[in-house]
Structure 1
């Protein structure tokens, strides 16, 4: 008795003996680096396969061979491109990740920026989370800035979160997270900025309060694009733990494009594992992985 096509597909694609060929993996890796700048060395093949299995089941295909034939031989790439990018891009994020940067934001960056604009009444600070993933970084920024604005009463702020993945941007827009994810958020901020939902038999979740959600917007951006359609007077840009996945030449190109969007005296914040050493970029380092535009 033959199985229905989709059932057979589900059985076949879960088979650990089914793998991408070296040629097909190279084609996918080349496509990803050309499209979004992210390197997928051979050591990442099992990770990529694991992430693609669910997508292949969704399409009702029965193997990696069939999926690659759909991509490269049957003109499926145009329709599949966003789903492929969503599947293979890394979206590791946490609230208050690398917390020293948020201390620096509160204690050094914001006071210095407001001093530069001391002639303005309640200036608007623009903050950009340039690889926002599911929005944890953007909402962490919003919590810190909302507290600081409440204490000082002399500035306003807005936050932009951008990412290549439409799936994570959708989650950022919804602002709903598993409750275990907010462990790093200080208790006082949990009380002010999170709404808790607990339903019988359902995983506990939290949602960012509406007052904070209104201050954060999300948009899709490919960092490999030639230009970025956003404001050129941004005060602070966070681009953390992303450049490590890019080739050196692409790292420098991305940083140069982002710098154009910073106002004089603005800050660029990288991940602690990233640096500008070996580039032709001249910015003053003011703290670990924190750089200021002249």
Structure 2
């Protein structure tokens, strides 16, 4: 008897994108359920999602918008209570095939101790060639996966200019992706499959963080219990970045402020940073905000 798999899709004020996702995936035979969590939307989202309910699709209404982690935790706990083994955490704007889904399931089934598996993420705006798993364009853009790093390296990654200058030092080298199943510390949060029991044993997502840094925090929590994360380099998906979050937080400066709050929390509670490092981070954040403003992201 095969393991049961549920997809978890979190929505906030973007039912159009979420409904499109539901209609793409609800007939995938490899999915036993599609659980949609509406994160206390302030528009008509819940009504629109309720209209799609039935068959495999279940809609949960969160009491408040606790952010990305809280919404996914709610959906995964619901799946766990109903006997599901695997959960596919899928952003509304992440497009994947059923073959990709089946490959992820097989990888978890064949690799005991593996808690998280993800396909290679493709950003459709990248240059030609970025779609090839392990290609230079893909790896150096940070689209594949990333290691757990120290606070200074994380600050470099957060800076638009620094990220481009120091990319080879901040990410795995291309040779890391030569195997079909590449062990990594973290995978992008837009599409990943988790072993529900391992995910919950690690504590799931930290609900004290509203948005951003979830990948690093989950990586730290999984490392603490000795669970493994991997990238399946033979399959990929398309992530249309900011298709959802860009509707709720239209200004780049607003998104940057959310990212800074998450980084402050991560630095304090997971990396144990002290006052000097935190003060340096504040100076760095100010430079990033200035760069965003000068390039038009503040409007």
Higher relative contact order (CA 8 A, sep 6+): 2
Higher-Rg member (1/2):
1
- TM-score normalised by L of structure 2: 0.28
